[in-house]
Structure 1
Amino acid sequence: MAKYETKFKYALVKRCLVNGSSAVAVGKEFGVDDGTVRRWVQSYRHHGFKGLSKKYEHYSSEFKLSVLRRMKKDRLSYREVEAMFNLRGHGTVSRWERLYHEGGLDTLKAKPKGRPKMMKPSPPATPPKAKADDTRTREQLLDEIDYLRAEVDYLKKRKGLGSGTESDCAKKARLVRDLRQHHKLSTLLKIAGLARSTFYYQVNVLEAPDRYAALKSRIRKIYNRHKGRYGYRRVTDALRRAGEMVNHKVVQRLMQALRLKSLVRPKKYRSYRGPGHVSVANLLQRQFQAKAFGEKWVTDVTEFNVGGEKLYLSPIMDLYNGEIVTYQMSRTAHFSLVDDMLKKAIGKLPDKRRPILHSDQGWQYQMHVYRRTLAEHGITQSMSRRGNCLDNAAMESFFGTLKSECFYLKRFTSIDQLQKELREYIRYYNHYRIKSKLKGLSPVQYRTQPSRP
């Protein structure tokens, strides 16, 4: 297990607590497991700088038992109880719990370290047998030296090759081809464990012109145009819309060879403030499909953190095509954030449309003013059940996509910079970001396409 200096731990904790960086982002930047970073943060919160310094201590069985009882009483996780009692070893409490269940209090007692006092005398070592005289000829010794040199060169080159999508035989053949100017081919093939016919076949494949060169170039252009947000499915849809009939598995394989990956996600604003006085049924019932624009809407609020400053985003999404109908941003989570968003959305409502508007049980959506505005415009309110984020999965999915494709890809220095980027991304999301479930169209393209007879 790696040892870390106290100053290093403190620097990472400071990144999380002062700069507002996530444990995942900090861990990835410094090559430390995000679980370890979270454990340091919790230790610092409970014990300050002292909680990050090295600690060597033996614990009595009574202390271990009290820790287990406290964990059970307060329903704490292993990580929480380790931080609370300033226990450094990862997995310490889980080990104590297992021992206690296996043998009770006696098994929690510390065992004496070191060898037992009485040691049996070891038998005298037998002298090594004398080696037989080396009868190898000079030529044999030279061949052996050549073999060892070739083996060292092969292993060095293989170590520096890194991981890729090539087959094992192709990698070996490439190594042998590169080294054959310095060593005998027969020796290299023996070291690589490669048949001569296999070697020549792989060399012919390696030296053949790449029939996918033009397609790879087009894939890379699409990937770069969308700033790494497209995976192989959307890249395939984009190619097909451009007239290139290609199988999605081919695109997936080529993107792997080019090491082009859709950039991924790590979520925390909680609007729930305990049970309110309002009881609203879950009318949506996780039916996230709509037959027409303006039939079903979903909404929620999410939080961003830039250098300790916060920004809140409140959008409304139409479930017909996943389009963001309208949105509002604010540096504070006041009711005006949701109220202003709702008024803007009502102004964009198609004639005679009276949608269902679904949300979680956040305090804003229980306000009398909010509910009265909905009633005045014939909008039906629907709410998720408490603690069921999947009841509003469509909105949660959008937030995940937004953060992974926009927020986590850049280092923002100010809230103003973030607001500008969010406006650009939401426009991009509505007008240009294609979806497979919309038949390779963007939300706006899907809504405005000519209706079929």
Structure 2
Amino acid sequence: MSKLSKQDKIDIYNNWKNYNISANQAAKEYGVNRANLFYLITLVERHGIEILDTGYTNYSVEFKEKAIRRVLFNHEVADQVPLELGLSSRGMIYNWIRKYKEDGYNVINHKKGRPTHEGQRQTDSRASKANKGPQTEELKTYCRERICKKIERLSLTKIERLSLTKNQRPTAQEIVSVVTQLRQELYVTVSFVLDTINSNPDLPHLSRSNYYYTLGKDDKDLKNEKIMKRIKKIFEEHKHRYGYRRITAQLRREGIIVNHKRVKRLMVKMHLYAISIRRRFKYSGYKGTIGKIKPNLIKRHFAAIIPDRHWYSDITEFHLNGEKLYLSPVMDGCSQGIVAYTLSRHPVLKQVMDMLDQAYQKHPALNGLIFHTDQGWQYQHAAFQAWLENHGVSQSMSRKGNSLDDGLMEGFFGILKREMFYGFEKTFKTMDELEQAIKEYIHYYNHDRIKTVLKNHTPIEYRNMVLNKAVQ
């Protein structure tokens, strides 16, 4: 507030009072702190404009001690006490409290100017007294309350942040950080803080030797600061879908060589945990033998050397607000990418036939292709089997009751629902929003999501890489 003249203060108050000029606007115009400006307005509103005529006042020791005790021991709001007392600045009470602690919990009127030798000796004596901590039982009780409250808050924050059981405790590094902060804030000794903590059975204990050991130990993760920032950014970019192994692979793609164990430790330290939700339900289109059952040509040898030699398909359903949505994709056995897909509100034959047409438009060279599915009624239908035969495609089917025979598609459905559906149902208000989210995820899966089985490439990258090598 020292930047403002008396006339400035009067103008600010009048503009606020008569023209509804907010404290924010005035703070920007005059280049001062908004909180201090709001204090000025409240002060004048309470005591009148005459309060601005009050010059420098040398407050007595008794006056300061009474104000300090109202904040520390009566637990009054620190910003309200200076308003009631008519202090020109709210910062005065904070300065008094700071000096009160520095001087060994004694109120002393400090004289301006350079101290004499005698004054310096008195200052040194006061500093020595401050290092001994609070002297009265009232002050000791106040400090103990502050220490216990801070440590309790640390413990509660730790538990809530990690969603752990009540038996979990903060780490030694976290406790040491708070203890050091309390020493500086209360001007007490380490022994005073540690004795207070260790005497309370509900608080995490810390020995004096462990405190100094942890305090003196260099933080080995300071050199990992850049890596930690990049890990967190990757984690957020992929919407918490990447675990430590996949993040390690992404870092190596960017030229950052780091061990997966270090990435795991840093992620735990930053409390970054990938989505992990179990599957809930599975759609089955099997209705018994209604057509010609085909042999199992794949026999769980899912991988293919080049693209468009093994294709896999299945249908899965999504339940949302009492409605159902069906997804029918085609997956390539070489790149494990989604070649084509259709979405429908009902599991009808047209959905599967449209999927075939989409896949054929993208990849018309189908000679020698094996198309593998389960024994769903759509795949036993004469129209479906005729389409495959007319395009030179060999049909393969899983054995009845052997879902592992179609394990590649089952795995994709599990990844899809775990990473964008399970646990996120409330974010989709309508089926249209869910359809759009599925489309976006499949694009993400093909173009952005790396797979370790593909040598840390995305499906599209791996497909192009294999085709380029085949041409060479």
Normalised-by-shorter TM-score class: 0.5 to 0.7
- Do 1:317 and 1:323's aligned partners in 2 also have CA atoms closer than 8 Å? yes
- Do 2:312 and 2:371's aligned partners in 1 also have CA atoms closer than 8 Å? yes
What is the alpha-carbon distance in structure 2 between the residues aligned to residue 346 and residue 426 of structure 1? 18
1:34-56 CA-partner distances (Å, limit 9, x unpaired): xxxxxxxxxxxxxxxxxxxxxxx
| 191-200 or 232-241, which deviates more | 191-200
- Do 2:370 and 2:394's aligned partners in 1 also have CA atoms closer than 8 Å? yes
User: Which residue in 1 is equivalent to 2:416?
Assistant: 402
TM-score w.r.t. structure 1 length?
0.62
Amino acid at match of 1:451: K
- What stretches of structure 1 of length at least 5 have no aligned partner? 1-138
What is the alpha-carbon distance in structure 2 between the residues aligned to residue 311 and residue 193 of structure 1? 55
After TM superposition, give the deviation of residue 275 of structure 1 in Å. 4.0
Amino acid at match of 1:413: K
Please give the secondary structure, in 2, of the residue aligned with 1:162: helix
Amino acid at match of 1:225: E
User: Which residue in 1 is equivalent to 2:439?
Assistant: 423
Amino acid at match of 2:152: K
Question: Kindly tell me: are residues 320 and 187 of structure 1, through their superposed partners in 2, closer, same or farther at Cα, counting changes over 3 Å?
Answer: same
1:301-353 CA-partner distances (Å, limit 9, x unpaired): 11123322222110010010101111111111111111111222233335363
Please give the secondary structure, in 2, of the residue aligned with 1:369: helix
Q: Which of residues 267, 283, 288 is equivalent to 2:297? A: 283
- Do 1:147 and 1:187's aligned partners in 2 also have CA atoms closer than 8 Å? no
Please state if 1:250 is matched with 2:250: no
TM-score w.r.t. structure 2 length?
0.60
After TM superposition, give the deviation of residue 385 of structure 1 in Å. 1.8
Please state if 1:228 is matched with 2:231: no
Amino acid at match of 2:213: Y
Please give the secondary structure, in 2, of the residue aligned with 1:382: strand
- Do 1:291 and 1:320's aligned partners in 2 also have CA atoms closer than 8 Å? yes
Question: What is the alpha-carbon root mean square deviation over aligned residues?
Answer: 3.1
What pairs with 1:71-110 in structure 2 (closer than 5 Å)? Answer: none
Please state if 1:444 is matched with 2:460: yes
User: Which residue in 2 is equivalent to 1:381?
Assistant: 395
- The list of structure 1 runs, each at least 4 consecutive aligned residues, that deviate by more than 6 angstroms after superposition, is 141-148, 206-209
After TM superposition, give the deviation of residue 202 of structure 1 in Å. 1.4
What is the alpha-carbon distance in structure 1 between the residues aligned to residue 370 and residue 221 of structure 2? 57
- Do 1:294 and 1:320's aligned partners in 2 also have CA atoms closer than 8 Å? yes
Question: Kindly tell me: are residues 242 and 159 of structure 1, through their superposed partners in 2, closer, same or farther at Cα, counting changes over 3 Å?
Answer: closer
Please state if 1:308 is matched with 2:326: no
What is the alpha-carbon distance in structure 2 between the residues aligned to residue 149 and residue 416 of structure 1? 55
Q: Which of residues 166, 174, 188 is equivalent to 2:177? A: 174
- Do 1:150 and 1:188's aligned partners in 2 also have CA atoms closer than 8 Å? no
What is the alpha-carbon distance in structure 2 between the residues aligned to residue 208 and residue 279 of structure 1? 62
| 279-288 or 348-357, which deviates more | 348-357
Identity %: 39
Please give the secondary structure, in 2, of the residue aligned with 1:378: coil
What is the alpha-carbon distance in structure 2 between the residues aligned to residue 157 and residue 339 of structure 1? 61
After TM superposition, give the deviation of residue 277 of structure 1 in Å. 4.5
Please give the secondary structure, in 2, of the residue aligned with 1:230: coil
Question: Kindly tell me: are residues 415 and 157 of structure 1, through their superposed partners in 2, closer, same or farther at Cα, counting changes over 3 Å?
Answer: closer
Question: Kindly tell me: are residues 335 and 170 of structure 1, through their superposed partners in 2, closer, same or farther at Cα, counting changes over 3 Å?
Answer: same
Please give the secondary structure, in 1, of the residue aligned with 2:352: helix
What is the alpha-carbon distance in structure 2 between the residues aligned to residue 253 and residue 353 of structure 1? 49
Please give the secondary structure, in 2, of the residue aligned with 1:430: helix
Please give the secondary structure, in 2, of the residue aligned with 1:405: helix
What is the alpha-carbon distance in structure 1 between the residues aligned to residue 437 and residue 150 of structure 2? 49
Please give the secondary structure, in 2, of the residue aligned with 1:372: helix
Larger RCO (CA within 8 A; separation ≥ 6): 1
User: Which residue in 2 is equivalent to 1:361?
Assistant: 375
- Do 1:329 and 1:337's aligned partners in 2 also have CA atoms closer than 8 Å? yes
After TM superposition, give the deviation of residue 184 of structure 1 in Å. 4.3
| 400-409 or 153-162, which deviates more | 153-162
1:90-142 CA-partner distances (Å, limit 9, x unpaired): xxxxxxxxxxxxxxxxxxxxxxxxxxxxxxxxxxxxxxxxxxxxxxxxx9x99
What is the alpha-carbon distance in structure 2 between the residues aligned to residue 322 and residue 143 of structure 1? 69
What pairs with 1:22-33 in structure 2 (closer than 5 Å)? Answer: none
What is the alpha-carbon distance in structure 1 between the residues aligned to residue 385 and residue 415 of structure 2? 29
Amino acid at match of 2:266: L
Question: Kindly tell me: are residues 304 and 448 of structure 1, through their superposed partners in 2, closer, same or farther at Cα, counting changes over 3 Å?
Answer: same
Question: Kindly tell me: are residues 209 and 419 of structure 1, through their superposed partners in 2, closer, same or farther at Cα, counting changes over 3 Å?
Answer: closer
- Do 2:155 and 2:170's aligned partners in 1 also have CA atoms closer than 8 Å? no
After TM superposition, give the deviation of residue 252 of structure 1 in Å. 1.5
- Do 1:317 and 1:395's aligned partners in 2 also have CA atoms closer than 8 Å? yes
What is the alpha-carbon distance in structure 2 between the residues aligned to residue 368 and residue 352 of structure 1? 20
Please give the secondary structure, in 2, of the residue aligned with 1:211: helix
User: Which residue in 2 is equivalent to 1:218?
Assistant: 230
User: Which residue in 1 is equivalent to 2:89?
Assistant: none
After TM superposition, give the deviation of residue 276 of structure 1 in Å. 3.8
After TM superposition, give the deviation of residue 414 of structure 1 in Å. 1.8
- Do 1:189 and 1:195's aligned partners in 2 also have CA atoms closer than 8 Å? yes
Please give the secondary structure, in 2, of the residue aligned with 1:212: helix
Amino acid at match of 1:405: E
- Do 1:150 and 1:187's aligned partners in 2 also have CA atoms closer than 8 Å? no
- What stretches of structure 2 of length at least 5 have no aligned partner? 1-134, 163-167, 199-203
- Do 2:308 and 2:369's aligned partners in 1 also have CA atoms closer than 8 Å? yes
- Do 2:316 and 2:327's aligned partners in 1 also have CA atoms closer than 8 Å? yes
What is the alpha-carbon distance in structure 2 between the residues aligned to residue 426 and residue 344 of structure 1? 15
1:219-238 CA-partner distances (Å, limit 9, x unpaired): 12222222222222222122
What is the alpha-carbon distance in structure 2 between the residues aligned to residue 349 and residue 145 of structure 1? 79
User: Which residue in 2 is equivalent to 1:263?
Assistant: 275
| 317-326 or 263-272, which deviates more | 263-272
| 196-205 or 312-321, which deviates more | 196-205
Amino acid at match of 2:446: N
| 329-338 or 142-151, which deviates more | 142-151
After TM superposition, give the deviation of residue 417 of structure 1 in Å. 2.0
Q: Which has the larger radius of gyration?
A: 2
Question: Kindly tell me: are residues 374 and 208 of structure 1, through their superposed partners in 2, closer, same or farther at Cα, counting changes over 3 Å?
Answer: closer
Question: Kindly tell me: are residues 150 and 259 of structure 1, through their superposed partners in 2, closer, same or farther at Cα, counting changes over 3 Å?
Answer: closer
Please state if 1:186 is matched with 2:191: yes
Please give the secondary structure, in 1, of the residue aligned with 2:338: strand
- Do 2:147 and 2:182's aligned partners in 1 also have CA atoms closer than 8 Å? no
Q: Which of residues 327, 331, 334 is equivalent to 2:345? A: 331
